Structure 1
Amino acid sequence: MKLDVLNVDDDKMILFIYEKMMGHADFSSHPKSFSNGYETLDYISEYKNEDTKFLIFLDVNMPNLDGWQFMDKLKSIGLNKYCHVLVVTSSIDLSDKEKSETYPVVIDFVEKPINIEKLKELKNLKQLKPFFEN
């Protein structure tokens, strides 16, 4: 099975930084970046298959389609079974963390900024570990 890493954030600088960090942390050599949830849904719809799992680093606070609406849409169109979501936010509001726990597709809640050490820790999550074992 293959892991396809997707970064979703409306800040293009954040997306650039994530791509570089993921390469340096040996997390993903070719992550894909999207500045809105609709583009991400289109990508997953087009490339979904039984041999691929999408790992989505999802910003919660985005215009047009926020992270919560994105996950609702993911479920309603039946794409959630192909995905793991890491909710990424600068929010320190405990209610956001609690809300993220109500979505089965969410495997972790990550506070911004993400760093190389955090990426290395994420490799050990039970849902991700098989993708990083040699």
Structure 2
Amino acid sequence: MKQKLNCILLIDDDEATNFLSNIIIEESGCALDIKTRQTAKAALKYITDSSQPGCKSGYFPYPELIFLDINMPAMDGWEFLEKYKEIKNNLPHIPIIIMLSTSINPDDKLKAMGLSEISDYYNKPITSEMIRQVVDKYFPAYV
């Protein structure tokens, strides 16, 4: 039997989007835990806290997969990535980061795919087909 992802982290400022994405991921059965953060700053804190030795793994499971929205207030997805670059060498492992957007600007996809931290780029919303594609591509030993 193949294993499930330990944790998927959703980073999106839209509560309804997070709610629906959570349902789709739960129905896919690909993850043991799904965490959501509505700000990039809260997501960075979560990633940092979950990487600490002695962290209660049930409370802060370290994400193996992150879905990151581009357009968020205060700190957007691009700014999140700049801060993430500063901490990534101190993390136990580097998660797969999928950038999500409703943007129709092709420059956003080009910019995202030019960054080593971004594994892939998809248009919102998260779908069951998208989840299957991501898991098949980046986690072939899973589910």
2:139 equivalent among 124, 128, 134: 128
1:66 equivalent among 73, 76, 80: 76
2:109 equivalent among 97, 100, 105: 97
**Residues 1-134 of structure 1 aligned to structure 2 (within 5 Å):** 3-48=6-51, 52=62, 54-78=64-88, 82-125=94-137, 127-130=138-141, 132-133=142-143
Identity of aligned residues (%): 26
Rg comparison, structure with higher value: 2
Give the length in aligned residue pairs. 131
Residues of 2 paired with 1:128 and 1:106: CA distance? Answer: 15
* Kept in 1: contact 2:6–2:33 (CA 8 A): no
Quote the offset at 1:49 in angstroms. 6.2
Which consecutive residues of structure 2, in runs of 5 or more, have no partner in the other structure?
Answer: 54-61
SS at match of 1:129: coil
Quote the offset at 1:118 in angstroms. 1.4
Superposed CA RMSD in Å reads 2.3
Which consecutive residues of structure 1, in runs of 5 or more, have no partner in the other structure?
Answer: none
* Kept in 2: contact 1:84–1:106 (CA 8 A): yes
Map Cα deviations across residues 47-90 of structure 1 (whole Å, 9 max, x no partner). Answer: 1169x553110000000110000011000223575322100001
TM-score, normalisation: structure 2: 0.81
* Kept in 2: contact 1:48–1:82 (CA 8 A): no
